[in-house]
Amino acid sequence: RRKMLRPSTQRYSVTRPLYSEDTFEDEHAKVYRKHKRLLDHFIQYFTCTSERAKNAAVSLLPIIGWMKIYSIKDWLLNDIVSGVSTGLVAVLQGLAFSLLASISTWYGLYAAFFPVIMYFFLGTSRHISVGSFPILSLMVGAVVTRLVPDEGPPANITAFEGLTKDEQRILVSASLTFLVGLFQLGMGLLQVGFIVMYLSDTLISGFTTAAAVHILVSQLKFVLGLTVPGFSGPLSIIYTLESVFTQITSTNIHDLVTSIVVMVTVLGIKEINDRFKSKLPVPIPIEVIMTVIACGISYAFNFSENHGVDVVGKIPNTFESPIAPSLQLFQMTAVEAFPIAIVGFAVAFAVAKVYSVKHDYIIDGNQELIAFGASNIFGGAFKSLVASTALSRSAVQESTGGKTQIAGLLSAIIVLVVILGIGFLLEPLPKSLLGAVVIVNLKGMLMQVVTVPYLWKKDRPDCIVWVGTCLAAIFLGLDLGLAVGLGLELLTVVFRAQFPRCCVLANISGTDIYRDRKDYVNIYEPEGVKIFRIPSPIFFANIDFFRDKLKDAVGFNPLRILRKRNKAVKKIKKMIKKGELTLTSVCLESEEEGNMEDLDKPTDYSDLPIQVNWNTELPANIRVPPVNIHSLILDFSAVSFLDISALKGLKVALKEFIRVNVDVYIVGCDPYIIEKLRNCKFFDDEIKTSIFFLTIHDAMLFIHESHPPKTVSEKAALTLPITPDVLITS
């Protein structure tokens, strides 16, 4: 076997000409592509062919794609097992999560049935389990309790007339679900699925942790068996805790013991499921087992009447008739509906993406928006809760062998059987058990808090986003918390882009590699040359920062130098005219001081019969700060775009350096930026296209040719002062 060389002994050598952008384009023909006009895109988008119609149908109905490859022999049994397992979990979670929405428990079952049917045809993910999600249920509950509070009159809404409090809450929940569906469907049709990209993992982690805290607090009243009114708005969590602790002495011991036993048992068995998941054919359905046991004990000992335990109660064995949403409720809930739509889609898409990567198939964000939009519109018409996906339920569907959404369809059939056939068996189920199940399922979200120390050490802006989002969502409410999180995230993006880490580069000795001069020991900074790296796009918000950093890097302000030089030249001309300097006869006109605009122009050496060396001592105590560089290289390899404001600022900055005799070179610039500079009339008599080079090393080699290193005698000559008695005449 051939022995591999160590990286330190490997070498490469490339011999090529020195290239500027101009010479490179002269030697290498460029392919000029015709850019489509807006009209061309419009015509192409609305041109219909048989192939496009077929693709559109498959895209709109993804079921066509995966049904063609469905293997009954290999996949059907797995889907059946997965569907039954997921259906049992969906029943229990549907009952539990409906408590978060402050509506009757059986409406949570509708969320595990109606949206699943629609998603079966329209969804692109084969593994997520569609249904209620605790965070969305809590956000719905906040709206429900705001419009129909536990204490006091409901909001003044015409559609509420003649309805009981429970019916009013169902109308609010159903209308809100319908509106969420409209938002999602609209975004899907407008192809804005990319919007989820603006919700970073850090923001979602902080938001879901805060939501888990809200859910935990909201379930205390069921775990302790207390009557706590619903609160909404900022500081609602504080008011809820105050109400809980005020009544803590009235805790129902039977509810508390039931909850503790359920939580300890479920947590223990879930740990066994995680530890031995490779050996277990299917996870132990401990929640279902505890539900059966609790129902039996509650029925046998008549917990409801004998011990005052709050139970699920009557579950209708039929579906309720659909209802039309209230337009007045649309107006009053639109502000809350939009973040619910975004969060629901973001969570579902994130889970779907994980499973699509694992099982090697493609999901479409825009189609997912359409699928969830249609699912929530359909579900809202039948009084369902807002649908997304629960992480634990999707994990059950995937881990039990589910291959396609046939498993989801079978889980919906299990829910249908419970609703129409055996729902009465769940009537004695204590709500404290449902609360305990909800709390246990929060473990993963609550444990996200351990990432805070890691984020603080590795990326403090991200840590600030996490903590800020979490605290805002806890104390201000989930909707305002999400808005605060997005604001913080936007600020971090602006901060990173507006204040990038600019640096001065130097050469790694003996190579064509250039790195930050502060990071390496064996590094060589070329004499008379500064190499400045800009690590971000340049636009209106950071152009001034970039110019300030550039001045700091070179150690002088070129505009200030230029003004002082112009003043010095005017003074020298006056001294020559007055005879204070002995020179050959020269015809000079009288010179005025000139205004500031004149001082900003290139130095006028006409009629000046001497050659001024600005780096030596000048006559008559004229003081002009020296410029210790002759060349400046700007590394644009990380600059992805320039806007018009930045273009103007860059042009001014370059001219300031050029006018004080500093040659400026730009390297690694994207050809499309150069093309934009041409189109925007960036180049003129002072700034030419010849300043652009392919690499830093190309520019360095060119500079060495233009400014060869000075000898010792040349360096000594630079130190000779120019005095009234020692001047070089023309």
Q: Is residue 365 part of a domain?
A: yes
Q: Is residue 665 part of a domain?
A: yes
So what's the pLDDT on residue 6? Answer: 60
So what's the pLDDT on residue 605? Answer: 64
Q: What is the mean pLDDT of residues 277-303?
A: 86
So what's the pLDDT on residue 370? Answer: 94
Q: Do 439 and 517 share a structural domain?
A: no
Q: What is the mean pLDDT of residues 543-566?
A: 90
For residue 40, count other CB atoms closer than 10 A to its CB.
Answer: 11
- Domain residue limits at 681: 503-579+624-709
Q: Is residue 104 part of a domain?
A: yes
Q: Do 511 and 488 share a structural domain?
A: no
By mean pLDDT, which of 436-445, 449-458, 617-626, 684-693 is the weakest? 617-626
DSSP state of 449: G
Q: Based on the number of CB atoms within 10 Å of its own CB, is 438 exposed (0-12), middle (13-18) or buried (19 or more)?
A: buried
Could you report the per-residue pLDDT of 82-94, keeping only the tens digit for each? 898 888 888 888 8
Could you report the per-residue pLDDT of 667-715, keeping only the tens digit for each? 999 988 999 999 999 999 899 999 999 999 999 999 998 888 766 555 5
So what's the pLDDT on residue 27? Answer: 87
Name the most confidently modeled range: 84-88, 161-165, 205-209, 647-651: 647-651
Q: What is the mean pLDDT of residues 506-531?
A: 86
Q: What is the mean pLDDT of residues 555-576?
A: 84
Q: Do 522 and 470 share a structural domain?
A: no
Structure token digits, residue 481 = 């918390």
So what's the pLDDT on residue 365? Answer: 86
Yes or no: say if 47 and 368 are a contact pair by the CB < 8 Å rule. Answer: no
Q: Do 556 and 466 share a structural domain?
A: no
Number of domains into which the chain is organized: 2
Q: Do 131 and 87 share a structural domain?
A: yes
User: Kind of pairing, strands 631-635 and 529-533?
Assistant: parallel
Q: pLDDT class for 383, splitting at 50, 70, 90? A: very high
DSSP codes of every residue in 660-687: TT-EEEEES--HHHHHHHHHTT---SSS
Q: Do 207 and 231 share a structural domain?
A: yes
Yes or no: say if 90 and 393 are a contact pair by the CB < 8 Å rule. Answer: yes
Yes or no: say if 371 and 122 are a contact pair by the CB < 8 Å rule. Answer: yes
pLDDT of 386 over the 90 cut: yes
CA distance 457 to 440: 30
So what's the pLDDT on residue 619? Answer: 66
Q: Do 555 and 463 share a structural domain?
A: no
By mean pLDDT, which of 238-252, 264-278, 579-593 is the weakest? 579-593
So what's the pLDDT on residue 397? Answer: 85
By mean pLDDT, which of 7-11, 113-117, 284-288 is the weakest? 7-11
So what's the pLDDT on residue 590? Answer: 37
Whichever domain contains 525, its CATH number is 3.30.750.24
Residue % of the chain over a pLDDT of 90: 37
634 Cβ contact list (under 8 Å, min separation 6) = 532, 534, 664, 665, 666, 667
Q: What is the mean pLDDT of residues 187-196?
A: 84
So what's the pLDDT on residue 658? Answer: 92
Angle between helical axes of 365-381 and 327-359 (0-180°, round to 10): 140
Q: Do 525 and 641 share a structural domain?
A: yes
Residue % of the chain over a pLDDT of 70: 90
Structure token digits, residue 605 = 């050496």
Q: Is residue 662 part of a domain?
A: yes
Q: Do 509 and 487 share a structural domain?
A: no
Q: What is the mean pLDDT of the chain?
A: 85
By mean pLDDT, which of 43-57, 422-436, 655-669 is the weakest? 43-57
Last residue of a domain, one of 434, 460, 494: 494
pLDDT of 437 over the 60 cut: yes
CA distance 368 to 172: 25
Helix (H, G, I), strand (E, B) or coil at 619: helix
Could you report the per-residue pLDDT of 297-353, keeping only the tens digit for each? 999 988 888 888 888 888 888 888 899 999 999 999 999 999 999 989 988 888 888
Q: Is residue 593 part of a domain?
A: no
What phi, psi does 130 have (nearest 5°)? -80, 140
Q: Do 296 and 432 share a structural domain?
A: yes
CA distances from 464 to 211, 217, 450, 459, 701 (A): 18, 24, 14, 9, 45
Last residue of a domain, one of 494, 529, 562: 494
Q: What is the mean pLDDT of residues 638-654?
A: 93
Which helix H or strand E contains 202, and what residues bound it?
A: helix 201-218
Helix (H, G, I), strand (E, B) or coil at 86: helix
What's the whole-model pTM score?
0.77
Quote helix, strand, coil % in the chain, to nearest 5. 60, 5, 35
pLDDT of 466 over the 90 cut: yes
Q: Do 449 and 371 share a structural domain?
A: yes
Q: Is residue 22 part of a domain?
A: no
CA distance 312 to 705: 88
Q: Do 530 and 441 share a structural domain?
A: no
Q: Is residue 542 part of a domain?
A: yes
User: Kind of pairing, strands 523-524 and 663-667?
Assistant: unpaired
Last residue of a domain, one of 438, 465, 494: 494
Q: Is residue 377 part of a domain?
A: yes
